[in-house]
Amino acid sequence: MKLYLDPGHGGSDPGASSNGLTEKEITLDIALRIRTILESLFDGVEVRLSRTGDTTKSLRQRTDEANAWGADFYLSIHINAGGGTGYEDYIYNGLSDSSRTANYQDTIHAEVVKLNQLSDRGQKKANFHVLRETVMDALLSENGFIDNPQDAALMKQAAWRQNVAHGHANGVAKAFNLPSKVNDSPQTRTPETAPSGPLYKVIAGSFQTRANADNRVAFLRSKGIESFVVTAMINGQTWYRVQAGAFSSRANAETRIAEVKRAGIGDAFSDSDGEANGTVRNTNNHTILGPTLLSVEQMNQYAKSNNPSSPELGNFYKTLGEYYGIRGDVAFAQALHETNYFRYTGDVRSGQNNFAGIGATGGGNRGASFGTPEEGVLAHLQHLYAYATTAPLPTDYDLVDPRFHLVQRGSAPTWTELNGKWAVPGDNYGQSILNLYERMVNSV
């Protein structure tokens, strides 16, 4: 499949600019990431870019080039402006909703909005040059508003641009049925001369879903570190572990670990063969669903021992946690982590009753507010429920979490799988919550 990938604008045409950002730079960054992800994760795709640097190229030149090359799909990346917020994409307005292009739009749109953290402005049609003058199917995406402070704050984060790129890559891969690259398992990667001593593998993440592991590999690649996914069976569960090298000397493994940590992956570790299972089991399979083990008093006392003016939320976390089948005590630990023990040293203020930073997406954005502390806890647990399971939300309580429908349902059954989702980049987010929870348990 031949993909013509078109980062909008460039050279003497900067596109829109605001908040210290220029459209042509962001579109190029995202497009280059899309190419890297497609080429590293999928087979059967050939990518050509309209530009790979800050060069001037007319719309006519771009569509002529794609047509002459015989591309199968034209994907144009843009950033919006003009006083809105969110994501939208376009196909040519002469096409019907049942056209093949519209089907591609359905698929790509769905994959992009899973990962881009933007409100969804919908699938649209327009008479744009690149959509009209291309002989192949074509789609143009508008990835947030450069003149909206919240959207712009996201654009400044490499992790966000990577997620947007990954959404587009997943969409193209799904639309065109691109096969995943099959990584060798460690058993089949027998070196020509097997080392005699133990092999120290550098593990840069363990995940319960393949997609999260692939994400990590792509992230590391964006930082210049090669890695691949290996599967491991631990306690009857399949884990996808990202391995960034294997070394016969512990010193060399430590050097690689330091590189991985500098790239932002704080929980990288090395194991020699056979030592891995305990580490993975202890850190990564704490599920969000489960019983609340600590008592109301234990939760409230722990909070007050750190901040005497902490509100007494233990009862809400216990009862609502039990109602949704969520670990209310670990959720309580998450609230302590998010609010800095209810000191609110981040963007959220205490009067908002927003104990989980819902909608506080950075750049000073304060996020959602709730009428009462109970409603705030309810929203927190509903948001966790969205991540933890694909089951429908139980209906005794109204849905108060304003971002429930923005969550990819069931995408994070464990606390550590919230990394990069609830918090971006959030490489140690789940581990921090579990560490705090462990301190709660040890203190009572």
Q: How many CB atoms lie within 10 A of CB 114?
A: 19
- The CB-of-175 to Zn ion minimum distance in angstroms stands at 22
How are the residues of the chain apportioned to helix, strand and coil, as percentages rounded to the nearest 5?
Answer: 40, 20, 40
Query: Judged by CB under 5 A, does residue 8 bind Zn ion?
Result: yes
* Gap between the Cα atoms of 131 and 311, Å rounded: 56
Tell me whether residue 116 or residue 382 sits nearer to Zn ion (CB atom). 116
Tell me whether residue 8 or residue 376 sits nearer to Zn ion (CB atom). 8
User: For tokens 């580490």, what's the residue?
Assistant: 279
Binding mask 22-61 for Zn ion (x = CB under 5 A): ----------------------------------------
> Given the rule CB under 5 A, which of 70-78, 115-123, 158-166, 297-305 is the region that contacts Zn ion?
70-78
For the chain, first and last CA: distance in Å?
A: 60
Tell me whether residue 78 or residue 337 sits nearer to Zn ion (CB atom). 78
Among 4, 5, 10, 15, binds Zn ion (CB under 5 A): 15
* Gap between the Cα atoms of 26 and 387, Å rounded: 29
Nearest residue to Zn ion, by Cβ distance, number only: 78
- The CB-of-361 to Zn ion minimum distance in angstroms stands at 23
Tell me whether residue 8 or residue 328 sits nearer to Zn ion (CB atom). 8
Q: 111-140: which residues touch Zn ion (CB under 5 A)?
A: none
Residue 259 is a catalytic residue: no
Residue tagged active-site, from 23, 88, 111, 142: 142
Binding mask 317-356 for Zn ion (x = CB under 5 A): ----------------------------------------
* Gap between the Cα atoms of 93 and 125, Å rounded: 5
- The CB-of-15 to Zn ion minimum distance in angstroms stands at 4
Count of residues that bind Zn ion according to CB under 5 A: 3
* Gap between the Cα atoms of 152 and 336, Å rounded: 28
* Gap between the Cα atoms of 330 and 115, Å rounded: 25
> Given the rule CB under 5 A, which of 72-80, 104-112, 250-258, 308-316 is the region that contacts Zn ion?
72-80
Tell me whether residue 15 or residue 311 sits nearer to Zn ion (CB atom). 15
Beta carbons of 86 and 120 less than 8 angstroms apart: yes
Residue 25 to residues 37, 70, 79, 191, Cα–Cα distance (Å): 19, 27, 10, 42
Contacts of 241 (CB under 8 A, 6+ apart): 203, 205, 206, 207, 213, 229, 230, 231, 232, 276, 280
Active site residues: 142
- Residues forming contacts to Zn ion in the complex (CB under 5 A) are 8, 15, 78
